Structure 1
Amino acid sequence: MILSCLALSAAAVAQADVAKAQDQFNRPPRAEKLAVATIEARRKVLFQTMLDQPGNLDAAFEYAALSSQVGDLEGAIATLERMLIFAPGLPRLQLELGVLYFRLGAFKTAKTYFDAAVSSANTPPEVRQKVEEYQQAIARNSDITAFSGVISAGTRYQTNANSGPTAATVTLNGLNYVLSNEARKSSDVSLYTSGEFQSVIDLPMQGVTFKTGLRTYGEFYRQTTNLNLGYGEVTAGPSFDLNSIGLADYTLDTYGIMGGGVLSGDPLMVTFGAGALVGMRANNNAFYGIRSEYRYEHLYNSKDYPSLSNKSGDRFQTQFLSVYRLSNSVNLGFSGIVDRFDADVDYNSYWQFAATSGISVDFMSPISSLPDPWNVSVSTLLSRRFSDQADPMISNSSQQMTRWSINLTQTVPVSKKWSAFAQASYEKSWSNYDTSVFDNTTLAIGFKRAF
């Protein structure tokens, strides 16, 4: 029950002489391993040509391109910079140098060459377009400080606010018991608010930023006030653009975690830990990531929940996530999660496996006075949990539980910053423990503000 409340507050390694040669390069090769030897042979021929014919720009361009393919960016840069002596102000040459420095993570130097490439009135349109794309990427990586966030608030109706069992009678160790009114499935209305905030500070080291995130959640019920919940969590740590060490399009976020919550006015829990996220943007339309986290979660007993501390313990979680942009208006997302929780009391320890998927679609507003595109999204989650040992108060068998949920959200922008939304969701739980068999339908409306 309590963990359900907390869930609400809450997406990836030729020949020996070739390998030895690559050790001297500052980037992994982009060419296939079997092609590297052929490229190396051609580079030797071109290098001799450049020695014999210093002004042969075609040979120099080819040499630089092949050097880039095998990961020798510094060799490519040195070749192109020598070419500037023979062809000063050549936009194509300045563009290529800018791209190479960008791949090294030297954004300031790359910007100098990009600016020079478009300074001439005779710069070809295709060069200007390419420069603009890189300039935008540099701008995104060069903001000294960036802050973003979204807050939402609304009201929610649930047919089973307390995640109470479907049946009025449950079986405990072979005996039937009639549940009290407080333990049974109970509908209720609540007001809730949530926030997601992030700041990014550019550090002096090239390609390194410091990210801070804050998540908040609060919910207040009309009748089941013992579920009134407040939770906050802060994450903070450095983020590295791995382009600077040869892993183009990869990033590494590392962070510490600290959070805590209150339930019905009493301390609920504190948590602390650390995590890391390795992300790869394969292209402009696809992102992949692997996140791993460790948390210690300590829960406190209270008058309403006298044995909650038995659920304290260590959580280890790994998540694979992916996002695909099918078009300017359609996005898909998939993730898989492996969760291991080692509780202080063995029967609360478990393995959990989950998968989520979702689709988000923007479409033209049907109301002329609200011209911004509307959005509809559908997401679903399926999880399976296996407890280590039986709960002696309930059964001689360890618990197994399956949960499935589906959520539909319609968002309507009412201004550049504000949006209204309506949600409908359904959740169902199956288990060999009667106390964990339930379903819940939720209807919610509210507003969001992005900044």
Structure 2
Amino acid sequence: MRLWTRHAPIAALLAFLLGATCHGYVHAQPAQGVDIVALKKEQEVLFQRILKNPADLDASFRHAEVSTALGDFEAAIGSLERMLFFNPDLPRVRLELGVLYFRLGSYELSKAYFESAITAPDTPAEVRAKVAAYLAEINKRLNPSQLTFFAQTGARYQTNANAGPDGSLVRVFGFDATLDRQFVRQPDWNWFAQGVAHHVLDLGNQRGDAWETTIGAYLSRHDRFTRLDTNLVDVQTGPRLALLPESAPGWSVRPYVGATAVHLGGEYYLSARTAGASIAWVPSPGWSFEVGYERSRRDYHNTDDYPTAQEQTGMVDTGYFLAGGPLLLGWNWFARGTISHNDARVQWQSYKQRTLDLYLTYTLVLPMLGPERAITIAPFAGILDADYDGPDPLIDPNIARRDLERRIGIGIDLQLTKNIGFSARFQQSEIESTLPNYEMENRSVYFGPTVRF
């Protein structure tokens, strides 16, 4: 860690620069709460000092710090580049130059400095994470049409693949009954394939407006429970429009529409149409906050395996939030929450639902195995609470269903090359319910190769 701890004061300037990006990407404005007149006087004194002794790194650093506080990024860049001239072995300075050039919109120079800042094998994980976020944003801004793709195939094992109750004692017509053992929880293996493609098209109007489209698909084939074989396709598209790109950069609104189709057990099971809108704030690369609302029409179709599926047909209203950003020591976090109401044809299929999920990620670069190799660890936890509007008379005419699901797990992603990897995920979940028919536990694990670009 020698290179990254040699100049401790530089870390303070870096923190200011990274924090300053929360106020926008392009505008160079003095930081709030500073004495502008005093700083300008100090800036001039430091400039004269540097003219007399260009090798004075302390004066150059302080000049960069003062210039950044004043929003004079060009002057700050000049001081930092002067420091590199006399001592090229300063990766922190290269990182700060990457941030400054990014804020000025000089993305090619910014990219070059960011890449040179992480060449050392002892680069801290949190620095690599910040650079990765900036490089991703730079790539987006330099390419008017971007396509990203992720796919995985592999095997999945579940201890309760059929979502059966834990025990054989259930309720039927309001009385206790013994369920045949073939309907309680049963394990199963399945093969799966999943993929997501995300396309962003810059509309080229200098505001940063873009058109975003996401297409996802999932396919599974089970060993025992073939009625759970799934074919799913989901499409969502809409513009992302900058709200106030000059005075409030980073804010955007996104109206969108979507459609979903599901085949279950080899038969057409569900179709859905969705319309929604969200407001997002990206204060700096790596950080994001978004709130939204959507309304969906879901049409279920009866099948041989699911003869009463149409009872679930109806409208679903959902409010949601998404948020994420960096933590300490290279960790990142992501949170997602929803509040929804499903208004189905019958009250025992209508419900109010609340969910909350939290994810942490840590990526460890493995330079000894190759320049592209890294491992990402992602522990997660979630909770789901659902209140049904009324009792199901076939189960218990006097007790409405209420479920509380808790889940916890961990994902591991090993990146073997730039485009090829291997991913595995383990999850344990349990559901507590007012009705024993729905109380269950499940442990699942899936694994398989991945492709991304």
TM-score, L = length of structure 1: 0.70
Q: Which amino acid aligns with 1:131?
A: Y
| Aligned-partner Cα distance in 1 for 2:434–2:417 | 49
| Aligned-partner Cα distance in 2 for 1:443–1:128 | 44
* Alignment match, 2:296: 295
Moved more, 256-265 or 204-213: 204-213
Identify unmatched segments of 5+ residues in structure 1.
1-26, 43-57, 60-91, 101-112
Aligned partner of 1:447 among 446, 449, 452: 449
**What SS class does the counterpart of residue 248 from structure 2 fall into?**
coil
* Alignment match, 1:282: 283
Q: Which amino acid aligns with 1:359?
A: L
* Alignment match, 2:106: 135
Report how far residue 361 of structure 1 moved.
Answer: 1.1
**What SS class does the counterpart of residue 185 from structure 2 fall into?**
coil
5 Å-filtered alignment, 1:226-375, equals: 226-244=227-245, 246-327=247-328, 329-365=330-366, 368=369, 372-375=373-376
Q: 1:128 to 1:180 in 2, by over 3 A?
A: closer
Mapped contact 2:160–2:443 kept (Cα < 8 A): yes
Mapped contact 1:142–1:202 kept (Cα < 8 A): no
* Alignment match, 1:163: 163
**What SS class does the counterpart of residue 271 from structure 2 fall into?**
strand
Q: 1:403 to 1:216 in 2, by over 3 A?
A: same
Mapped contact 1:426–1:442 kept (Cα < 8 A): yes
Report how far residue 263 of structure 1 moved.
Answer: 0.7
Mapped contact 1:403–1:430 kept (Cα < 8 A): yes
Report how far residue 376 of structure 1 moved.
Answer: 0.9
Q: Which amino acid aligns with 2:411?
A: T
Mapped contact 1:151–1:194 kept (Cα < 8 A): yes
| Aligned-partner Cα distance in 1 for 2:340–2:148 | 29
* Alignment match, 1:69: none
**Which structure would you say has the larger Rg?**
1
| Aligned-partner Cα distance in 2 for 1:123–1:359 | 37
* Alignment match, 1:11: none
Is 1:428 the counterpart of 2:430? The answer is: yes
Report how far residue 267 of structure 1 moved.
Answer: 0.3
State the Cα deviation string for residues 87-129 of structure 1 (Å, max 9, x = none).
xxxxx9xx99xx99xxxxxxxxxxxx99xx99xx999999965
Mapped contact 2:372–2:417 kept (Cα < 8 A): no
Q: 1:204 to 1:358 in 2, by over 3 A?
A: closer
| Aligned-partner Cα distance in 2 for 1:142–1:269 | 40
Q: 1:30 to 1:236 in 2, by over 3 A?
A: farther
Is 1:414 the counterpart of 2:416? The answer is: yes
Mapped contact 1:160–1:439 kept (Cα < 8 A): yes
**What SS class does the counterpart of residue 383 from structure 1 fall into?**
strand
Sequence identity of aligned pairs in percent?
19
| Aligned-partner Cα distance in 2 for 1:238–1:428 | 39
* Alignment match, 2:110: none
Q: Which amino acid aligns with 1:435?
A: N
**What SS class does the counterpart of residue 141 from structure 2 fall into?**
helix
How many pairs align? 352
* Alignment match, 1:23: none
* Alignment match, 2:150: 150
Report how far residue 367 of structure 1 moved.
Answer: 7.1
**What SS class does the counterpart of residue 242 from structure 1 fall into?**
strand
Is 1:201 the counterpart of 2:205? The answer is: no
Report how far residue 419 of structure 1 moved.
Answer: 1.0
* Alignment match, 1:88: none
Report how far residue 382 of structure 1 moved.
Answer: 0.6
Q: 1:388 to 1:287 in 2, by over 3 A?
A: same
**What SS class does the counterpart of residue 282 from structure 1 fall into?**
coil
Report how far residue 284 of structure 1 moved.
Answer: 4.0
5 Å-filtered alignment, 1:107-118, equals: none
State the Cα deviation string for residues 349-405 of structure 1 (Å, max 9, x = none).
111111111111112449746972211111111111111111111111211110011
| Aligned-partner Cα distance in 1 for 2:326–2:304 | 49
| Aligned-partner Cα distance in 2 for 1:193–1:135 | 41
| Aligned-partner Cα distance in 1 for 2:160–2:200 | 40
Where does structure 1 differ by over 4 angstroms across 4 or more consecutive aligned residues? Answer: 29-32, 121-129
Q: 1:248 to 1:366 in 2, by over 3 A?
A: closer
**What SS class does the counterpart of residue 248 from structure 1 fall into?**
strand
**What SS class does the counterpart of residue 310 from structure 1 fall into?**
helix
**What SS class does the counterpart of residue 131 from structure 1 fall into?**
helix
* Alignment match, 1:401: 403
Moved more, 394-403 or 362-371: 362-371
| Aligned-partner Cα distance in 2 for 1:224–1:403 | 23
Report how far residue 319 of structure 1 moved.
Answer: 1.2
Mapped contact 2:295–2:316 kept (Cα < 8 A): yes
State the Cα deviation string for residues 224-257 of structure 1 (Å, max 9, x = none).
0011011001011111122436322112222101
* Alignment match, 1:191: 191
Mapped contact 1:191–1:220 kept (Cα < 8 A): yes
| Aligned-partner Cα distance in 2 for 1:239–1:268 | 32
| Aligned-partner Cα distance in 2 for 1:450–1:194 | 12
**What SS class does the counterpart of residue 353 from structure 1 fall into?**
strand
Q: 1:287 to 1:309 in 2, by over 3 A?
A: same
Q: Which amino acid aligns with 1:303?
A: D
Q: 1:30 to 1:303 in 2, by over 3 A?
A: farther
Q: 1:406 to 1:128 in 2, by over 3 A?
A: closer
**What SS class does the counterpart of residue 348 from structure 2 fall into?**
helix
* Alignment match, 1:212: 213
Mapped contact 1:209–1:238 kept (Cα < 8 A): yes
Report how far residue 423 of structure 1 moved.
Answer: 1.8
Mapped contact 2:367–2:373 kept (Cα < 8 A): no
Report how far residue 285 of structure 1 moved.
Answer: 4.7
| Aligned-partner Cα distance in 2 for 1:369–1:308 | 51
| Aligned-partner Cα distance in 2 for 1:367–1:128 | 28
| Aligned-partner Cα distance in 1 for 2:174–2:258 | 42
Report how far residue 183 of structure 1 moved.
Answer: 2.4
**What SS class does the counterpart of residue 389 from structure 1 fall into?**
coil
Report how far residue 211 of structure 1 moved.
Answer: 1.1
Report how far residue 144 of structure 1 moved.
Answer: 2.2
* Alignment match, 2:127: none
| Aligned-partner Cα distance in 1 for 2:337–2:30 | 29
